[in-house]
Amino acid sequence: MKALAKVFKALSDPTRLRIVRLLLERDLCVCELMFILRMEQSRVSHHVRVLREAGVAEDIRDGRWIIYRIPEVSRRLVEGIFAGALRERLEQTPETTADIGRLDVCIRENIRGCVCETRPRPEER
C-alpha cells in the first residue's frame, strides 16, 4: 500500500504528470525533456528523481547519454493510471498539446544528437 501511495504522490505534480505522459510515448534524455518542457536541467532532474524514487521512472546509460524511461515492472500500472477519463482530460490540456508538438520537433531536429553532442563533457570543462 505504501509503494502505491508513493506512486500517486509522485504523480501529484503537474510537471511530473507531463514527464510521465512523455515517457509513455518514448524514452527521453534530460536534454530532450528540457527542450520539450522548456525547463532548466536542475528542475527536470529534480522531477525525474522523484519519479525514480517512486519506481515510475528509471535511467539507463546509452553511450554518453542517460536515458529516462518507464520501467517494465511499472509500465502496466502507469498505463492503467493514464487510461480512460484521466487520459482524455490530460490529452485536452494545452500543456500536453504543446508537449507533444515539441516532442515531434525534438525528434525531427534530433535534439539529443545536436544538444547533447555539443555540450562539453565534464572532463573537458
Q: In this predicted model, what pLDDT tens digit does every residue of 26-45 receive, in sequence order? A: 999 999 999 999 999 999 99
Q: What is the DSSP string of the chain?
A: -HHHHHHHHHTTSHHHHHHHHHHHH--EEHHHHHHHHT--HHHHHHHHHHHHHTTS-EEEEETTEEEEE--HHHHHHHHHHTSHHHHHHHHTSHHHHHHHHHHHHHHHTTHIIIIIHHSPPGGG-
Q: In this predicted model, what pLDDT tens digit does every residue of 77-115 receive, in sequence order? A: 999 999 988 889 999 999 999 999 999 999 999 998 887
Q: CATH topology for 2-71+78-116?
A: Arc Repressor Mutant, subunit A (1.10.10)
pTM: 0.88
| Closest to 66 in 3D by CA, of 87, 80, 52 | 52
Q: Other CB atoms closer than 10 Å to residue 85's CB: what's the count?
A: 7
Decide: 87 and 80 in contact? Cβ < 8 Å: no
Rounded CA separation 19/46 (Å): 12
> Domain spans of the chain?
2-71+78-116
Decide: 70 and 20 in contact? Cβ < 8 Å: yes
